[in-house]
Amino acid sequence: MKMQTEQDLLKQDQQWVESIIEKDHLNRFNSTNTDAPINYFESFPDRLMQRIQMEKNNHTKPSLFKMFFLQPYGKIAVAATFILVVAGTYLLNTANKAKTATVSIQEISIDEMKNYVNNNEAIAELDFDYVIKKESASLEKLGESEIKEIQKAIIQ
């Protein structure tokens, strides 16, 4: 039933077109636009298969870059490099921190302190002399008004 209706509709549409333009003209139009060069369809499959084969070959020859990254060892190499960089950076940072780490005075034993003072006594005295000299030198440079201000401050 449905097929019949479809066929009727198709006929109606075709008749409508033919009422506008003669069927001969329509057929002539159709025949001029549904022709192909001689032997075109005989040679087409071979030409097409050659082209498909060419495209296949192009796809199977990836670039060196792709080859490297598509291979498992390439991926492993990239992962290993990444891990090395991260681990190296972490180790360097922790080493630097260890070098500059401050130690609280409570953590140093008295023996260690004594040893340090004994070993560095001369240097400590030298440093102390240097500070005294430096401070007295800068005091000499002070003007009278500045000295008075200091005296006032001391009295207060």
Partner 1 sequence: MSSDQELIIQFQQSIDREAVFTQLLRKHQQKVYYQIKRMVLEHADADDIAQLVWIKVWNKLDGFKMESEFTTWIFRIAYNETLNYLQKQKKQGSKLSNDDLFIYENASASTDEPKTTEIQIALDSAIKQLPEKQRIVFMLRYFDGCEYEKIASMMGTTVGGAKANFHQAVKKIEQFVKKL
Binding mask 52-91 for partner 1 (x = CB under 8 A): x--x------------------------------------
40 makes contact with partner 1 (CB under 8 A): yes
8 makes contact with partner 1 (CB under 8 A): no
48 makes contact with partner 1 (CB under 8 A): yes
Of 25-33, 61-69, 108-116, 131-139, the segment contacting partner 1 by CB under 8 A is 25-33
Question: How many residues make up the chain in this entry?
Answer: 156
Among the listed residues 1, 4, 12, 36, the single contact to partner 1 using CB under 8 A: 36
Half-sphere exposure of 149 (CA within 13 A, CB side): 5
d(CA 2, CA 7): 9
Least distance to partner 1, CB of residue 63, Å: 21
Name all contacts of 134-141 with Cβ < 8 Å and 24+ positions apart. Answer: none
CA angle 63, 68, 72 (to 5 degrees): 135
Residues 6+ positions from 124 with CB-CB distance below 8 Å:
117
147 makes contact with partner 1 (CB under 8 A): no
Six-digit token pair at 133?
């000299």
DSSP state of 141: T
CB closer to partner 1 out of 2 and 141: 2
Which residues in this chain contact partner 1 in the complex, by CB under 8 A? 6, 9-10, 13-14, 16-17, 20-22, 25-26, 28-30, 32-34, 36-37, 40-41, 44-45, 47-49, 51-52, 55
